[in-house]
Amino acid sequence: MRKVIVLKKEINRKEVQEWVKERFELSVERIREIAEANTAEAPFDVYFHCLADFILYVEKVYEMRQDGRFVQLTTKELAEMNRRFYADILPETEVWEGETGYEESYANPQWSTAMLGADYGSMMAWLVTEIRGLIPLAFQGRLADMTAINELFIEIYNRFENRIPERDEILQIIYWYVSDYSDQTVTGRTREKLDPALSFYRDIIMKADLTDLSYLYQYGEYISANEKSIAAYLNTLDQSVIDDMAATFVNGYVRGFELYKIDLSAKKNVQLRANIGFERVLRSTIRQFEALGLSVIVCRDAIHSINKTAGKLGLVSCSANPQYDYDHRMDKGLYLDKALCERIIGVTKSAYEQYADLAEDYAGPAWMDVFGETPFEPAAKEENIRLSDKQQKLAVRMAGQLTEIVNQYIDASAISFSIIAWPLPSIGDQFEAIMDETIKVNNLDNDLFRSIQQKMIDAIDGAEYMHITGMNGNRTDLKVALWQLQDPAKETVFENCCADVNIPVGEIFTSPVLAGTNGTLHVSSVYLNGLNYRNLSLRFEDGCVAEADCSNYEDREENQKYLRQNLLQNHETLPMGEFAIGTNTTAYAMARKFDITQLMPILIMEKTGPHFAIGDTCYSHSENHKVYNTDGKEIVARENEKSRLRDTDPEQAYFNVHTDITIPYDEISAITACFADGRQVDIIREGKFCLEGTEALNEPLNI
């Protein structure tokens, strides 16, 4: 039976550390034997030798970090080390002579299946991915986690000595590894997201010599040309510019608390999410948060497959290979069942109970996003692990229950957030000009937009529905039902959104009434969560997706799988959680000027036309918290028919999804407010704002 490493308070910590070290050393000794042995049957012998060599290289780096040799390495040596860690998952376009890259990597389910057979291929690719987690663990010095992974590898190898075991034997080992160690992995991940005392990443940001780019290799993360180039570029800027970039971000965070009348002084910790390479801005950001009395949490993305989610969360680098990430996005399908779901839910509950004080102190995330990476359209591979229909339902239910646990300990109505985005050098030769323009967009006049947007809200309030129609090939024809005001003097339907939680400025939004929201939403091309959707079409019936289609693949069934797994995130359907009118024509003009529309983040693009979010509303889990526009009117459209079930049937109330889909101005024929008495008020006509008092928004469109 597996001896799970559990670090309990009542055990002498020094004794535990010595015990873990002894187990780690024994595991490394055994792996050295495996690297030299020939006891595994072909074709698995080559596979295990490759993995053993990789583990031993990670162990070597771990020892170098422990004994001080690592800090003596040159930048060239550090870069070579980083390359060795990540070369096997790089795409073909990034492979150097003598390397095979991802196409011939055991981390690739397609290659692994071709080499090891259909029964074992995807499973063994999963093992490679879990073992790759040793890299960040070694840099952080997390010996207990490293030992657990080493022992998993040894246990599986032992089953292959002098025979080829049944597939179920290996599945059982993997299942119990995930289950047994969840006390360690899930609890550890919970703490990472809440505890500023875990300062490995923050210490690099605050203490490293940022003029020497070798600091980038201190994280153990993949370092691409983007990380090196953005760090070098930021080093050319005056400190005043850096501080202003950080201030835009931090001030937006503070305004979010002010807007929603939440007491920021009652909180102690803020979680920072960002990309490696932006350390100069991050250092200034941390100092500004600390000046507000907030400690800053900096963690990386999840390491173990049981903790991984659809998007990366924490301090991250640009992906070494988006196809690798895509191929492993449903790895939980290898082991997920009802019992394991219940175990993860139980462990999560215990973890939040253990860290309840940290959860109480949590103010919310501050997210510095990036854009400009090469657009990615994934290849569909039959060999990839997938969630079965039963597992999809289990995963959706588990996600909902985990969210409920989080909200028991972190009151959604007592926290806020802020998000901003900056371009990466990979956006092209005009990067510096795009950065300058992005700084301008992120600092547009809040008061001007608030005034113009209020005119729009005043014109729309009281309408029965909004009618949106497309042009120039866009087939949108959609009616969005609106809340009906009981007291128009004190209530409003739309939130007047400026540059606070969502930077840059520029939208009004509402939670639609689902009943009566009908029609078709169509976008010729859109990138959502890093994935492209071509000719995306959603048909709504009473506010919920009744039919979805796209043209990414020739095979319609493959398109349906793509939509179900990625857009609907394994839900049968999703409601329309938000309707908004974006007003940031300056951002729209920037995207057109530099021909980077397909590279822009949804954070900015949602402000460049009407957008529709499928999933939860913007007020998810905080519907009871009253919010007001600056004119003093309460925004009453904070729920819909789904979220109204939150007290009686929470599993049906929330979906843990909120995906914005934007139609650009030049594809909009009209956005019209339609009233019960037959009156109609156009907000946009033929791609231009036409309501009196909004004409200034058209100036960037006329250039």
The confidence score (pLDDT) of residue 308 equals: 94
Q: Give me the percent of the chain exceeding a pLDDT of 70.
A: 98
Q: Spell out the long-range contacts of 433-437 with Cβ–Cβ below 8 A and sequence spacing 24 or more.
A: 433/594, 434/372, 434/590, 434/594, 434/596, 435/233, 437/590, 437/593, 437/594
Beta strands in 362-464 (DSSP E): 362-371, 418-423
β-pair partners for 477 = 469, 520
Three-class SS state of 507: strand
pLDDT (tens digit per residue) in 167-178 = 999 999 999 999
pLDDT of 8 > 50? The answer is: no
What is the 8-class DSSP label of residue 695? G
CB 340 within 8 Å of CB 390: no
From 25-34, 395-404, 460-469, 524-533, the region with the lowest mean pLDDT: 524-533
Q: Could you read off the pLDDT of 609-637 as tens digits, one per residue?
A: 999 999 999 999 889 989 999 999 999 99
Q: Can you tell me whether residue 496 is helix, strand or coil?
A: strand
pLDDT over 50 (residue 522): yes
Backbone angles phi, psi at 616, to 5 degrees: -75, 160
Mean pLDDT is lowest, of 266-275, 523-532, 659-668, for 523-532
Q: Is 689 in a helix, a strand, or coil?
A: strand
Task: State pLDDT tens for residues 338-387.
Answer: 999 999 999 999 999 999 999 999 999 999 999 999 888 899 899 999 99
* Residue 1 confidence (pLDDT) above 70: no
In this prediction, residue 259 has a pLDDT band, given cuts at 50, 70 and 90, of confident
Helix (H) or strand (E) holding 23: helix 13-36
pLDDT of residue 279: 98
Q: Rounded mean pLDDT of 409-418?
A: 94
Tokens of 186: 């899930």
Q: How far apart are CA 460 and CA 675, in angstroms?
A: 9
Whether pLDDT at 5 is above 80: no
- In this prediction, residue 703 carries a pLDDT of 62
